[in-house]
Amino acid sequence: MNLDLARWQFAIVTVYHFLFVPLTIGLSVLVAGMQTAWVRTGNDRYLAMTKFWGKLFLINFAMGVVTGIVQEFQFGMNWSDYSRFVGDIFGAPLAIEGLLAFFLESTFLGLWIFGWDRLPKRLHLACIWLASIGTVLSAYFILAANSWMQHPVGSIVNDERGRAELVDFGAVLTNSTAVGAFLHTITACFVTAGVFVMAISAWHLAREQHVEVMRTSIRLALVTVLVGSAGVVVTGDLQARLMTEQQPMKMAAAEALYDTVAPASFSLITIGSLDGSEEIWSLRIPRVLSYMATGSFDGQVEGINDLQRDAEQTYGPGDYRPNIPVTFWTFRLMIGFGLLAGLISVVGLWLTRRRARAPVPRWFFGVSVVALVLPFAANSAGWIFTEMGRQPWVVFGTMLTADGVSPSVGAGSVLLSLIVFTLLYGVLAVIDGVLMVRYAKAGPPPTAVPDRNHDPDDPGATDTTDEPRPLAVAY
């Protein structure tokens, strides 16, 4: 009971938090790029882009920040036995993430938001880049922590103390799983931000408003999505092989592959029995799974039943199979939604090419707007797959999820916090959604050009410190 409630709570608050994070990471870099273009060219179109996308970025950033606070504390709240067991290893990247990344992003973002008329242009530009670097760094450290749960390296289990202990921090930071997950996540962040910019630009272009700004934006977005998608595919391929080697059960579950075969086909769709233990019908592409899992079209892929038998021999009696329908479908949705976003960007780049004879057809704008859901759905599906596919383990091969929950926290408390967070996050989702839509529709602000009289780069215009004049930006 406690276990289920605690898992639901972790899933809800974490998936929710991760709706905002990839957009923050990707968009911070895009906005920094736009501002760089403005500083280098002086073209006001880039300034309008920086201000417009920057405003949407900040609305999203606020949600990412506040939902992130919960993440730092919930391991202790609902997963105290997990925390006791892993703290020696898992805590370090979390603390370093705070010290190196969170301070950097929050402090320099504050400087960026309010520093438009306070800082010289280039220093102000450096602030958004430093904030971006902070967001990317934070991704690395938290993924290193998560990757240790997927593939525990650099550690031993001290039975006397009943905990895992760090013996090689370098191994934790250079864990192949972490490198793979980081590259896959970061490229996905660019796809997310790219699709976000693409969808909103398309909405305006369909209405023939803010055409200059939005045309430049959509081209930037389409290139970002294409490059990001290519990166996602390449890194996803790398990850699939690591997964086969490190967590073969997860790969088998992704495929609902019950019996070991060589070569293995990839099923596009499989209908299984209700308890998920048997296959009834499927549509398959020959040999593709072998390639995904092993890099060879003839490779052998182990099946769930064999792996379950092996696991019982190694770890003792128990059910070591994850929830097959969930892993099977989230794996497909992740890949499907991701590929679809990439495909749209190829079509879009063709339709919006400079030498295009025909105007961009309206259906493309419609498709682009609807495509907004794709990266968010793919990101969520990907994480649900990764985490559900590791079950029943919380630390693969080392600690069961069931052994990680807080023994001293009653079901009532967990249920209460589950309800409180769900309701609060629901209300915030509505508010955030309304603000996002309204600010996206409002388009770039008309007064994007800064007040030349107070250009901090121009010493002649520098004011004395206490002379009252309106701030360029204020809450």
Partner 1 sequence: MELTDIWFLLIALLWTGYFVLEGFDFGVGMLLPLVGRTEADRRVAINTVGPVWDGNEVWLLVAGGATFAAFPEWYATLFSGFYIPLLLILVALIVRGVAFEFRGKIDSDRWRRNWDIALFAGSVVPALLWGVAFANIVAGVPLDADHEFTGTLFTLLNPYALLGGLATLLLFALHGAGFLALKTRGDVRMRARGLAHGIGLATVVVGGAFLVWTFLAHGAAWTIIPVLVAALALVGTVLMTHRMREGWAFLLTATAIVAVTVTLFGSLYPDVLPSSTDPANSLNTTNAASTPYTLSIMTWVAVVFTPIVVAYQAWTFWVFRRRIGTADIPVATGLPARIPTP
The residues with which 468 forms a beta bridge, in sequence order, are none
Write the CB contacts of 41 (distance below 8 Å, at least 6 apart in sequence). none
Least spacing, CB of residue 237 vs partner 1, in Å: 33
CA distance 403 to 183: 31
Least spacing, CB of residue 406 vs partner 1, in Å: 4
Residue whose CB is less far from partner 1, 119 or 402:
119
356 contributes a contact to partner 1 by CB under 8 A: no
Count CB neighbours of 137 within 10 A. 17
Contact window for partner 1 (CB under 8 A) among 225-233, 298-306, 349-357, 437-445:
437-445
Q: What DSSP assignment string belongs to 371-396?
A: TTHHHHHHHHHHHHHHHHHHTTEEET
Residues 89-128 that bind partner 1 (CB under 8 A): 89-92, 94-100, 102-103, 106-111, 113-115, 118-119
Report yes or no: 368 and 198 within 8 Å, Cβ to Cβ.
yes
Least spacing, CB of residue 79 vs partner 1, in Å: 8
Least spacing, CB of residue 122 vs partner 1, in Å: 15
CA distance 265 to 288: 5
Number of residues that bind partner 1 (CB under 8 A): 80
269 contributes a contact to partner 1 by CB under 8 A: no
CA distance 21 to 27: 10
Q: Give me the 44-83 binding string for partner 1, x by CB under 8 A, dash otherwise.
A: --------------xx-xxx-xxxxxx-xx-xxxx-xx-x
Least spacing, CB of residue 39 vs partner 1, in Å: 19
Residue whose CB is less far from partner 1, 61 or 320:
61
Question: 107 is written with which tokens?
Answer: 């402090």
Among 122, 207, 353, 469, interactor with partner 1 by CB under 8 A: 469
Residue whose CB is less far from partner 1, 57 or 266:
57
Look at the block and give the residue holding tokens 């998560």. Answer: 146
Residues 367-426 that bind partner 1 (CB under 8 A): 406-409, 413, 416-417, 420, 424
Cis bond leading into 392, ω under 30°? yes
Look at the block and give the residue holding tokens 């994480």. Answer: 383
Least spacing, CB of residue 472 vs partner 1, in Å: 7
Which string of b and e fits 342-358 if b means at least 16 CB within 10 Å? bebbeebeebbeeeeee
Residues 145-204 that bind partner 1 (CB under 8 A): 163, 165-167, 169
Q: Exposed, middle or buried by CB within 10 Å (0-12, 13-18, 19+), for 67?
A: buried
Count CB neighbours of 269 within 10 A. 11
Least spacing, CB of residue 3 vs partner 1, in Å: 14
Q: Is 268 helix (H, G, I), strand (E, B) or coil?
A: strand
Residue whose CB is less far from partner 1, 338 or 404:
404
454 contributes a contact to partner 1 by CB under 8 A: no
Least spacing, CB of residue 15 vs partner 1, in Å: 16
Residue whose CB is less far from partner 1, 90 or 337:
90
Residue whose CB is less far from partner 1, 268 or 437:
437
Q: What φ, ψ does residue 259 adopt, rounded to 5°?
A: -120, 140
Q: Give me the 320-339 binding string for partner 1, x by CB under 8 A, dash otherwise.
A: --------------------
Look at the block and give the residue holding tokens 């406690």. Answer: 2
Residue whose CB is less far from partner 1, 10 or 291:
10
Residue whose CB is less far from partner 1, 77 or 369:
77
CA distance 48 to 29: 16
